[in-house]
């Protein structure tokens, strides 16, 4: 299993667009374009979960700096999320 970060996406890119680009390399468990909770608009990046680590590594090599919906995308292994400091609302 491998988690992949996809950045510099066109704001028009959909989950299906991202999934389609990665399916050429192997089984895609999930592909999710991250959206702003307030506006519902794409934030310009996505996360893809590939079933096979080797397929994920190949996808990263082949898709980094490639074009998707007219934008040159950045693709790399997703880093674990940093724990966020809890700040109570005032």
Q: Residue 87: its pLDDT value, please? A: 74
CATH of residue 36's domain is 3.30.70.330
Tally of domains in the chain = 1
Q: Is residue 21 part of a domain?
A: yes
Does residue 82 fall inside a structural domain?
A: no
> Which pLDDT score is estimated for 58?
97
Inside any domain, residue 87: no
Q: Per residue in 7-60, pLDDT tens?
A: 999 999 999 999 999 999 999 999 999 999 999 999 999 999 999 999 999 999
Residue 84 within any structural domain of the chain: no
Q: Inform me whether the pLDDT recorded for 83 exceeds 90.
A: no
Residues 6+ apart with CB under 8 A from 35: 41, 42, 43
- Taking only the tens place, the pLDDT of each residue in 64-73 is 999 999 999 9
- Domain span at residue 40 reads 2-77
How much is the pLDDT for 89? 73
Report yes or no: 2 and 61 within 8 Å, Cβ to Cβ: no
């Amino acid at each position: 299993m491998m988690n992949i970060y996809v950045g510099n996406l066109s704001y028009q890119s959909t989950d299906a667009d991202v999934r389609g680009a990665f399916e050429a390399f192997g089984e895609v468990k999930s592909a999710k374009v991250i959206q702003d909770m307030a506006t519902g608009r794409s934030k310009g990046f996505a996360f893809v979960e590939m079933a096979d680590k080797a397929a994920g590594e190949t996808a990263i090599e082949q898709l980094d700096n490639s074009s998707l919906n007219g934008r040159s995308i950045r693709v790399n292994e997703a880093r674990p999320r940093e724990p966020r400091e809890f700040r109570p609302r005032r």
